[in-house]
C-alpha cells in the first residue's frame, strides 16, 4: 500500500456508503479499541440460513424471526476499513470501476442521514398491555404450559434536532467499553444502533468457540462492588434455565468437551446480570461445523424467547402485540480478521426519519411481578435513552 493512500474517517466512509445506497456495518468488539467497518457493493443482501464456515467475510444481521419483511441480511465485505489504519481495503473481486465510483463519492463530503425501513408502521406496546401479557404469562406458566417466556416492548422517542448518528455511535463506544457496539444501515431494511452484552456464537483466531448464558437483571449502583450483589431466587432460576438450554444443545450434538465458568455477576451499562461462559477448543474436537450447528440450535435463545422454545414463541406471537423485527435477533462479523463474533441484538434502537424506536424485554417466570418486569424494561431502555439525552 503506497504512502499516498488516502486516510479517511469513519464518518467519511459511512456517509459515502449511504450516498451510494450501499449496505454498511460498523462495529467494535468488547474491550477492544479498534473500530471496524465493511460495505457491500452487491445489489442483493438477502441471505438464507447462514453457513458460517464457508461464508465470505462480511457482517450478518438477522431478525428475531426471519421472513419476507425482515430477512436475514449478509453485508459482504467488498470494502473494509479500520480506525487503526484509516485506510480503505477492497476485496479481490471488486473491479477498478467500482473502486473509482466509491472514491468519487468519498470526495464529496456530505451527511446523507441513514437508510430507512420501507415499512414504517410500528405498533407500540402500552404499559397496561405489557402488564396484562405478563399476568397471562405467569398464569400460563403456573398451568404448566411453559417454564419461562421473554416478553418485550417498544417505546418511541423524538430525535433531538442536534442528533448525529456517527457521533452517537462514538458516544456508545465510550459509554459501553465491555459491550459489542454496532451500527448497521441497509437500504430498505433500515438502520439500527446498539450495545449488546450477550455473545450468541463466537469463534476467534485461535479456533475457540464461545457462547454465554446471560439472564437475571438488577440495576447497577455506582461504586458498588459486584461482589455485594444479592440475587433473588427468580433471577437465579431464570439464569439457570438459560444455562441448561445451552447444555442441552451440546448434548444434542453429542459434544462433551467443553468448559463452563460461572455463574458470576457482570455489569452491562447501568445493569447487572448473571453470566456463565461456555467454551470449546475446536482444535481438540472433531467438530468443524460447530458454529453453524450451535447457531441453528441456539437462536432464538431462551434468554430472548423462553423455555420450552415452541410454546414460549407461540405465546410471544399471540400476546406481545408488535413485531420485534431485528430486536433480539443476532448480528456481527463473520470470518473477519478477528474471527466470527455474533451477538444477540439487545440494548438497541431503530432509527426512523425523525424518531427512534427503543426495545427492551424481561424474562417471565412463575415468580414474576408485572410491575417489577415493567420497571426492568424501563431500566434496560435507559442504555439507549442516555445516548439520545446527550444531544438535548
Q: Give the pLDDT score at 1.
A: 46
pLDDT for the residue numbered 4: 61
pTM score of the predicted model:
0.95
Closest CA to 26 of 186, 159, 149, 175: 186
User: CB count, 10 Å around CB of 162?
Assistant: 9
**3-state class (DSSP) for residue 201:** strand
The whole-angstrom separation of Cα 74 and Cα 66 is 13
Q: Mean pLDDT in runs of 10 for the chain (392 residues)?
A: 73 94 97 96 84 94 90 96 94 92 86 80 81 97 96 94 94 95 96 96 96 90 79 91 94 96 89 94 94 96 93 96 94 95 96 94 94 94 90 82
- Integer-rounded Cα Rg, in Å, for the chain is 21
Q: Which domains does the chain have, with CATH numbers?
A: 127-160+199-329+346-389 (3.60.120.10)
pLDDT at 203: 97
Contact status, residue 129 vs residue 332, Cβ threshold 8 Å: no
Relative to beta strand 36-40, strand 79-82 is antiparallel
Contact by Cβ (8 Å): 16, 166: no
pLDDT reported for residue 2: 46
pLDDT value for 119: 67
Tell me how far apart the alpha carbons of residues 185 and 189 are, in angstroms, rounded to a whole number. Answer: 8
- Residue 149 and residue 363: Cα distance in Å, rounded? 6
The DSSP H or E segment spanning 10 is helix 10-19
Amino acid at each position: 500500500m503506497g504512502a499516498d493512500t488516502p486516510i479517511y474517517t469513519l464518518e467519511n466512509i459511512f456517509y459515502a456508503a449511504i450516498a451510494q445506497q450501499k449496505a454498511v456495518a460498523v462495529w467494535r468488539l468488547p474491550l477492544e479499541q479498534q473500530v471496524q467497518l465493511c460495505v457491500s457493493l452487491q445489489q442483493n443482501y438477502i441471505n438464507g440460513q447462514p453457513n458460517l464456515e464457508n461464508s465470505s467475510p462480511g457482517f450478518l444481521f438477522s431478525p428475531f424471526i426471519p421472513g419476507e419483511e425482515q430477512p436475514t441480511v449478509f453485508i459482504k465485505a467488498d470494502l473494509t476499513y479500520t480506525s487503526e489504519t484509516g485506510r480503505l481495503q477492497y476485496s479481490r473481486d471488486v473491479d477498478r470501476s467500482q473502486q473509482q465510483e466509491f472514491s468519487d463519492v468519498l470526495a464529496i463530503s456530505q451527511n446523507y442521514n441513514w437508510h430507512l425501513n420501507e415499512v414504517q408502521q410500528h405498533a407500540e406496546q402500552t404499559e397496561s398491555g405489557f402488564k396484562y401479557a405478563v399476568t397471562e404469562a405467569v398464569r400460563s406458566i403456573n398451568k404448566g404450559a411453559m417454564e419461562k417466556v421473554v416478553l418485550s416492548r417498544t417505546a418511541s422517542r423524538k430525535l433531538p434536532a442536534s442528533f448525529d448518528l456517527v457521533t452517537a455511535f462514538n458516544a456508545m463506544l465510550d459509554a459501553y467499553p465491555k459491550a459489542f457496539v454496532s451500527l448497521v444501515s441497509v437500504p430498505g431494511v433500515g438502520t439500527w444502533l446498539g450495545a449488546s452484552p450477550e455473545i450468541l456464537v463466537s469463534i476467534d483466531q485461535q479456533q475457540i468457540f464461545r457462547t454465554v448464558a446471560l439472564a437475571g437483571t438488577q440495576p447497577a449502583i455506582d461504586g458498588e462492588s459486584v461482589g455485594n450483589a444479592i440475587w433473588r431466587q427468580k433471577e437465579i432460576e431464570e439464569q439457570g434455565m438459560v444455562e441448561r438450554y445451552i447444555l442441552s444443545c451440546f448434548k444434542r450434538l453429542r459434544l462433551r468437551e467443553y468448559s463452563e465458568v460461572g455463574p458470576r455477576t457482570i455489569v452491562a451499562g447501568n445493569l447487572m446480570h448473571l453470566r456463565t461462559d461456555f467454551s470449546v477448543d475446536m482444535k481438540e474436537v472433531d467438530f468443524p461445523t460447530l458454529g453453524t450447528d450451535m447457531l441453528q440450535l441456539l437462536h432464538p435463545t431462551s434468554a430472548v424467547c423462553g423455555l420450552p422454545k415452541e410454546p414460549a414463541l407461540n405465546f410471544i406471537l399471540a400476546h406481545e402485540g408488535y413485531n420485534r423485527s431485528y430486536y433480539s435477533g443476532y448480528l456481527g462479523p463473520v470470518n473477519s480478521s478477528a474471527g466470527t463474533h455474533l451477538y444477540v441484538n439487545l440494548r438497541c434502537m431503530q432509527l426512523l426519519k425523525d424518531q427512534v424506536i427503543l426495545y427492551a424485554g424481561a424474562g417471565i417466570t412463575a415468580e414474576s411481578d408485572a410491575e417489577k418486569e415493567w420497571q426492568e424494561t424501563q431500566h434496560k431502555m435507559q442504555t439507549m435513552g442516555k445516548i439520545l439525552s446527550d444531544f438535548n
